């Protein structure tokens, strides 16, 4: 069987009751039609890819401290290769479409005894009781259940003593309801793609960061940047801590902003300012939007390196597009209003204004990796002849590793 060029693409954060990032849902592909026509056993190919990908991920620490949830179908459930997955890193989600036959229950019992975490969809049907008894986590798709029935179902499931996960949480109201009902974990677009609140004002720290970012983009004098920092003592301390964390290998610790700017350089300073905008005043773990923005920016940069070899400016601008693309969701403002405050290059503005220019299609491709629909990804990938599925998967692995290391440095700096 030819080796599948796919690794993995989509991922979605899973959070606890305090909205701390605890895991990722990973979306796997058995191959895009244009690249995997010779594969005769898609399920076996997927199993091989998952095993290889997780072996690589474990060695590269691409997922950091976060567990990964993966969905498995009936054939993959019975594949020997699934046992190659590292138990400490994965949770196996048994799809709701899999009938709870005696054979299925026995296989889940075997995997459970091997230490693999099982995620079972919450059903009240008596036939599902044996599966639910083996579950470590019970997952409920709240979009398929009205509020009244959900209020009845959750107490039934809580009597099982399992961790409950609410899937497809799309709004603040749904999140509040699920918290009240007693869910332990949460997953959905509400956390990674907050609703834009038009007209929301930037808080002083965010506004100061946007202004500082503007100074860096304008290549202002170091003294001007330093003076702008001095107006925000809290940001100054945070920046020094982050810089010390990043520069931990230096013999001398950084003690001033001017020193920090000299050590980091303008390029790194620009990146940290962009990422600090996402971190805000949070003190409870890593913001999933920060993780998504960091991953998006790094993935844009890595893909740009391959699409335009040895074009440093293009790669830097690709990183900028990836980071800034999520700022409207974070800051509650329109992209046009945000771009008025940032003197970005025309190429960056084109990409952010409507996916135009050379970087616009690349942004669309990166956005497609965050969705579970393989057709969206296939369409986006077709516009990039220099980027194949294998390269995309490898770059995403590297981007996840970079973003997770960033998150750990953020924690250390607090």
pLDDT in tens, 277-308: 765 543 344 567 767 887 888 899 999 988 77
Contact (CB, 8 A) for 315 and 301: yes
pLDDT in tens, 174-185: 999 999 999 999
Please tell me the pTM assigned to this model: 0.62
Pairing state of beta strands 185-187 and 10-15?
A: antiparallel
Parse the chain into domains and list their residue ranges.
Answer: 10-192, 204-413
Q: What is the DSSP letter of 92?
A: E
Provide CATH code, domain 10-192: 3.20.20.450
As a whole number of angstroms, the distance between CA 250 and CA 20 comes to 31
As a whole number of angstroms, the distance between CA 390 and CA 384 comes to 13
The residue with tokens 């019992």 is: 109
* CA angle 64–70–72, rounded 5-degree value: 155
The helix (H) or strand (E) run that includes residue 260 is: helix 257-279
- Residue 209: the pLDDT is 76
Query: Domain 204-413 is in which class?
Result: mainly alpha
- Residue 371: the pLDDT is 72
The residue with tokens 């603040």 is: 172
Contact (CB, 8 A) for 120 and 139: yes
- What's the Cα-to-Cα distance from 159 to each of 50, 175, 178, 237, 272, rounded to whole Å? 34, 21, 16, 48, 46
Retrieve residue 121's tokens: 């969809």
pLDDT in tens, the chain (414 residues): 334 344 444 567 888 888 778 888 876 544 443 333 333 454 554 554 455 555 555 434 456 667 888 888 888 888 776 776 778 888 999 888 888 899 999 999 999 998 999 999 887 677 888 999 999 999 999 998 888 899 998 998 888 899 999 999 988 889 999 999 999 999 987 776 544 333 344 455 666 777 788 888 778 888 888 888 766 666 666 666 656 655 555 555 555 667 777 777 788 788 778 777 765 543 344 567 767 887 888 899 999 988 776 677 888 889 889 888 887 776 667 888 888 877 678 898 999 999 999 999 999 999 888 776 677 888 888 899 888 887 888 888 888 777 776 655 444 444
- Residue 199: the pLDDT is 39
Retrieve residue 239's tokens: 């920046």
Retrieve residue 37's tokens: 């026509």
- Residue 192: the pLDDT is 64
């Amino acid at each position: 069987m030819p080796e599948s060029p796919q690794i993995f693409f989509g991922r979605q954060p899973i959070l606890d009751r305090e909205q701390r990032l605890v895991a990722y849902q990973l979306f796997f592909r058995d191959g895009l039609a244009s690249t995997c026509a010779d594969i005769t056993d898609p399920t076996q190919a997927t199993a091989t890819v998952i095993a290889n990908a997780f072996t690589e991920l474990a060695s590269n620490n691409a997922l950091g401290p976060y567990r990964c949830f993966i969905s498995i179908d009936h054939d993959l459930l019975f594949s020997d290769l699934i046992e190659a997955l590292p138990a400490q890193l994965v949770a196996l989600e048994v799809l709701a479409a899999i009938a709870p036959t005696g054979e299925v229950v026995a296989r889940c019992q075997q995997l459970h005894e091997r230490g693999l975490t099982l995620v079972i969809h919450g059903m009240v049907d008596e036939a599902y009781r044996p599966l639910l008894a083996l579950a470590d986590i019970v997952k409920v798709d709240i979009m398929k259940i009205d509020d009244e029935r959900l209020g009845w179902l959750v107490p039934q499931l809580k009597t099982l003593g399992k961790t409950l996960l609410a899937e497809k949480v799309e709004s603040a109201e749904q999140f509040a309801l699920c918290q009240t009902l007693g869910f332990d974990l949460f997953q959905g677009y509400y956390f990674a793609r907050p609703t834009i609140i038009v007209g929301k004002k930037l808080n002083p720290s965010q506004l100061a960061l946007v202004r500082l970012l503007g100074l860096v983009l304008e290549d202002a004098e170091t003294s001007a940047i330093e003076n702008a920092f001095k107006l925000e003592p809290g940001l100054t301390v945070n920046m020094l801590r982050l810089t010390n964390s990043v520069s931990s290998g230096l013999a001398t610790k950084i003690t001033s902003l001017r020193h920090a700017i000299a050590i980091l350089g303008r390029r790194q300073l620009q990146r940290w300012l962009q990422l600090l905008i996402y971190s805000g005043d949070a003190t409870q773990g890593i913001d999933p939007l920060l993780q998504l923005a960091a991953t998006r920016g790094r993935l844009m940069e890595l893909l740009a390196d391959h699409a335009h070899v040895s074009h440093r400016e293009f790669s830097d601008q690709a990183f900028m597009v990836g980071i800034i693309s999520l700022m409207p969701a974070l800051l509650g403002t329109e992209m046009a209003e945000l771009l008025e405050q940032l003197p970005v290059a025309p190429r960056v503005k084109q990409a952010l204004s409507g996916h135009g220019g050379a970087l616009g299609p690349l942004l669309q491709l990166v956005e497609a990796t965050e969705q579970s629909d393989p057709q969206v990804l296939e369409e986006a990938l077709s516009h990039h002849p220099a980027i194949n599925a294998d390269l995309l998967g490898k770059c995403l692995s590297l981007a996840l590793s970079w973003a997770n290391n960033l998150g750990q440095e953020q924690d250390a700096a607090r």
